[in-house]
Amino acid sequence: MADLENLLAEIDVSETFAPISAAIRALARVIDESHFTLAGQLQSVHNACAELVERSKPKSSCLFCSLAENLDSHTTNRCNRFPDPVSRAVQVARLHLCERCLKAQHGDDCGVKCAMCGLPHNTLLCHSRARPEGQAFKRRRF
């Protein structure tokens, strides 16, 4: 568009071409503005598509185990790799999860409390819920 401006500046604009020259300059400004607007919209669409692809990837049903490690498709509360509150708390800290809701990203005002003792931690991290040493979850048969 700068080339167009330079060409228009070089042309000897007489009174008959002045309105046409002004219209061309105005049109050039509109095209420039549209280009920047469309570039921003294209970036927004690109970001939304990338987020959609990321959210569509398969995920493990256990917060502590990766998809490859979770061969039996167990849930977080049935995890045998981290069966006690201490090992779960270590995993929560390692994964930078909230100790209350076990989510990676949320607001600072997480109000979740333990259903067992009422303290500010997730029920899966509660020491009053701990099972005797060596006792793992039993699978239910349906």
- Write phi, then psi, for 23 (nearest 5 degrees): -65, -40
141 burial type by CB count under 10 A (0-12 exposed, 13-18 middle, 19+ buried)? exposed
Give residue 63's pLDDT: 93
pLDDT value at position 109?
79
What is residue 96's predicted lDDT score, i.e. its pLDDT? 92
Euclidean distance between CA atoms 60 and 73, whole angstroms: 7
Q: Which burial class, exposed, middle or buried, applies to 43 when counting CB atoms under 10 A from its CB (0-12, 13-18, 19+)?
A: exposed
| pTM over cut 0.85 | no
Give the pLDDT score at 37: 93
Q: What is the pLDDT of residues 67-122, one digit of tens each?
A: 999 999 999 999 999 999 999 999 999 999 999 999 987 767 788 899 989 999 99
Q: What gap in Å lies between CA 36 and CA 41, rounded to an integer?
A: 9
